[in-house]
A and B are shown apart, each in its own frame.
Chain A
């Protein structure tokens, strides 16, 4: 209990004192996570829509891999990205390992399947009859797509939130491909792991509150977007 109160005190202290290091770490966390989920959304949304609305050979196999990807252990994702970016690896020349870009790559790898699969599930539930009706109303393909996206707004935002949840909670891959370098690739989760291993529970707890607030803020914004203007 004392530990908890100490943690809260420390957190308030750190935030109020405007600790530059904490601020930098928080800012980087926010940046990396938002970029990751943005890219995952930009790829996963169209991909999920496509997989949900079309039927082609090999679609089910592809879907199977994406669904397996939803449970991809972050350390495995981290390992793959590390090997990819390793000096002698296929993308070694880019020298991206231990950079924020590497963390973004790993986070995309773990969140893209979630966004894609959940979007696909939502679009697959649209009945043939509904598609026919929308077409018969005089919609072009593009207009049909816009109608469906509006209709499935709730499910789409849920998919994005689930992906974001994965990204912000992720630590194993970020540790591996980022290296937890101060001022460069140190983000909240990796700092927490480090502080805990040093026995600095108060700092770790303080950082965890900041992390939670961040997650809360973003999720609240998305929930607001999701739930507004429901007419009864």
Chain B
């Protein structure tokens, strides 16, 4: 299958330090790709590079086989993607306004915006919050708004950087279940950075392990978890103590 986004010999350097060194990497249509690795491994950097939000120091990034000139990413291309981070980063305004913003920026007609926002509020089970100020929501509610805001533009690829990390366990489980249903229905391609093996296990179908700015292993999630290579194994060992890998 043709990849949507493809990295070729990508390096990212900051202050003479290489934080990312990736000979090749792909995002394929329809997959839910997990990215896992220790703190400071370069996961967030990789995510930003894949979403055309951070300039690489070397190498090329392709979208549907076409090289995208560095530092000159067309707006239409940027607008095919959306991103949700660990912090919900909502704006001061109503929940409605927050979820609508991607469409407002794309200058959709007011009527369409209203209908779509209503639809996504409903899907995420937050219709009752529409008129509340987004800054006064609970963590779980705010993250639902954040995800709805990212999904409403019907992105070709949804990028997620630890969106569930700050939630308590029951809140996380409920949101993950809802989210999985939503994203499967929408058939959105997703890239998901997480520290949490349970989240990775539940959501992703492909997994890349990244340590020290390098991809150490990648493949179907069950295979990577059941047959980890030495780098992956040493990273996963800590987890195994607390979480038996039964699938």
Contact = CB atoms under 8 A, between A and B. Distances in A.
A and B interact physically = yes
Interface of A: 129-130, 132-133, 135-140, 143, 147, 151, 230-232
A24 B185 CA distance: 71
B105 A137 contact: yes
B93 A231 contact: yes
Contact of A136 (B83, B87, B132): B83
Given A136-B82, A137-B149, A138-B82, 13 more contacts: A132-B53, A132-B83, A132-B85, A133-B83, A136-B51, A136-B78, A137-B153, A138-B102, A139-B105, A140-B75, A147-B101, A231-B132, A231-B133
B85 A137 contact: no
Contacts of B133: 230-232
A231 B105 contact: no
20 contacts: A129-B85, A129-B89, A130-B89, A132-B48, A132-B85, A133-B85, A133-B89, A135-B53, A136-B81, A136-B83, A137-B101, A137-B102, A137-B149, A138-B75, A138-B79, A138-B82, A138-B105, A138-B153, A151-B91, A231-B93
B91 A147 contact: yes
B82 A137 contact: yes
Interface in B46-76: 48, 51, 53, 75
Tell me the interface secondary structure of chain A in the complex: helix
Contacts of B75: 138, 140
Interface of B: 48, 51, 53, 75, 78-79, 81-83, 85, 87, 89, 91-94, 101-102, 105-106, 131-133, 136, 149, 153, 159
A130 B131 CA distance: 22
A7 B54 CA distance: 66
Contacts of B105: 137-140, 143
Contact of A151 (B92, B102, B159): B92
Given A136-B53, A136-B83, A231 B91 contact: no
3 residue pairs, one from A and one from B, having the closest CB atoms: A136-B83, A138-B79, A231-B133
Nearest to B159: A136
Contacts of A132: 48, 53, 83, 85
B90 to A, nearest CB: 9
Contacts of B85: 129, 132-133
B19 to A, nearest CB: 15
A135 to B, nearest CB: 7
A140 B51 CA distance: 16
Nearest to B98: A137
Contacts of A129: 85, 87, 89
Nearest to A137: B102
Contacts of B87: 129
Contact of B78 (A133, A138, A230): A138
Contacts of A130: 89
A145 to B, nearest CB: 12
Nearest to B92: A151
Most buried by B among A129, A137, A140, A151: A137
A136 B48 CA distance: 10
Nearest to B86: A129
A137 B101 CA distance: 8
Nearest to B96: A231
A141 to B, nearest CB: 10
A129 B53 CA distance: 11
A231 B94 contact: yes
Contacts of A143: 105
Most buried by A among B93, B105, B159: B105
